[in-house]
A = this chain, B = another copy of it.
Amino acid sequence: MTKSYIPNWLKQRVFLTPSRVALYAEDTSLSFSELYEKVIDRCNRLTSIQLQEESYVGVLINNTKEAVIILHSLQQLGITAVLLNHRLTPIEMGFQISDIGMNTILYDQEFESKMNELKNVTPRLRMISFDSIDHLPLANRFIPKERFEMDATCSIMYTSGTTGRPKGVQQTFGNHWWSAMGSVLNLGLTEKDEWLCAVPLFHISGYSILMRSVLYGMPIRLYKKFDEKKVNQDILAGSGTIMSVVSSMLHRLIDDLDSIQYPDSFRCMLLGGGPAPKPLLEECIEFNIPVYQTYGMTETASQIVTLPPEYSISKLGSAGKPLFPCEIEIWDKRKKLSPFEEGEIVVRGENVTQGYYNREEANKENFVDGWFLTGDIGFMDEEGFLFVKDRRSDLIISGGENVYPAEIEEVLLGHPLVKEAGVTGIESERWGQIPVACVVISKEIKSEELIAYSREKLAGYKVPRQIYFVDSLPRNASNKLLRRELRKWIDK
């Protein structure tokens, strides 16, 4: 076995098609050669402060042109980018920083005040704003690599999974490459393709678009924040052929449409974050929006299962079939189940992470014979279409963000008056789902107080919107919290 390599993909892209547009953002565009020039400039400046000697560097970004440049610069420098979610609290961020043991963070100056707060938590962290990079001296010593090693870790993104403590998902260059190949074999590729990106670049949904852009030689149209009016305006004007969304975004796009249909040039609405309801899919048909539902996670470097539009009604509720290089099975106690039997969804493929950073125990539990045990529950029908019944740890997906009940419960349990806590998601028209909590308390306390307490420790989207005070929580014989039951209680 020899190591596998791919040419340094940005360098190769610039060599092959220098003048193609790489990026539309902030009312300007950058060709691949212009992008590369800026990337090499940043690399030269960052080597003046020996950044290339770091193995892991945190990045705190928004969806900006400079973020794209910095993410590529880290690939060029051979540094693993640790993508931080800017909605996290300083405590949450601090955990990830110390978990990796990183020394340096590069941040967009719009997060200056967040950085000031973070200083209290991580006083020794070197913080470098994007603005200040411009003022670093040009070292001009930087020589880009000829090739990327497939097995080298390109990026790390945190996810919680089956326990409340977040884990760093290591994504290799190979994982990103294979993900992009699986996608192209499924969706095809034309010279007119342009991918609209209004999902965060620090999530795999956005980061994977950035990779596809380079590998396919395809422009990204990047939105700083999702604005249904602006996106519709662009699509109706013929810009964009593919877009990644979650259902709350799709709702807003359709609500904004009135009676105008999407043009035929728009060929794929890639919908993640859980199956879409029938009325939404019917509306999409009406508005000429071809919806590809998908199932994927940070550990699979983006989509791993997709449902093409022709099946959206006949296979309602299904996430589809795996991408070409990927496999899916349903297991119970490490045994493969038959069609329609419900069990754990396990996945395999070169796009699947090789493991969590520094989590030997979790890696042992979650990886078996090359299969990754997702913790999600589902079944396959007789044709092999996947139906996802429950996300792992009763995952709540709120506006495209993953919210893990266990993480919120841990925070609530940290309050001196809370004896037991159970968190679940309830339906929300705007966000898909929002988290709510049931608590058993030892002494009376107002729900506002508990919410305020949570807000100090948790990103806003994770803070429970309502607190229900109960006498006990539903548990099974081995005392395991039954969050599904919780949901039923609240619905009553």
Chain A residues with CB under 8 Å of chain B are: 1-7, 9, 12-13, 15-16, 146-147, 151, 181, 184-185, 188-191, 215-217, 321-322, 324-327, 349-350, 370, 384
Contact = CB atoms under 8 A, between A and B. Distances in A.
Contacts of A9: 324
A151 B1 CA distance: 8
A434 B16 CA distance: 35
A190 B217 CA distance: 16
B6 A325 contact: yes
Nearest to A6: B325
B184 A324 contact: no
Contacts of A217: 185
A185 B322 CA distance: 21
A4 B5 CA distance: 13
Contact of A7 (B147, B181, B215, B325): B325
Given A4-B4, A9-B324, A185-B189, 6 more contacts: A1-B1, A16-B322, A146-B327, A184-B189, A185-B215, A190-B190
A188 B185 contact: no
A322 B6 CA distance: 13
A176 to B, nearest CB: 14
Given A1-B151, A7-B326, A327-B146, A321 B185 contact: no
Given A189-B189, A321-B16, A384-B15, A7 B184 contact: no
A216 B15 CA distance: 26
Contact of A3 (B1, B13, B16, B188): B1
B189 A324 contact: no
Contacts of A384: 15
A5 B9 CA distance: 22
A6 B185 CA distance: 14
Given A1-B151, A3-B1, A181-B181, A324 B188 contact: no
A352 to B, nearest CB: 11
A16 B185 CA distance: 11
Contacts of A13: 324
A42 B325 CA distance: 25
30 contacts: A1-B1, A1-B3, A2-B370, A4-B4, A4-B350, A5-B350, A6-B350, A7-B324, A7-B326, A7-B327, A7-B349, A12-B324, A13-B324, A16-B321, A16-B322, A16-B324, A146-B327, A147-B327, A181-B181, A184-B184, A185-B189, A185-B216, A185-B217, A188-B188, A188-B189, A188-B190, A188-B191, A189-B189, A190-B190, A215-B324
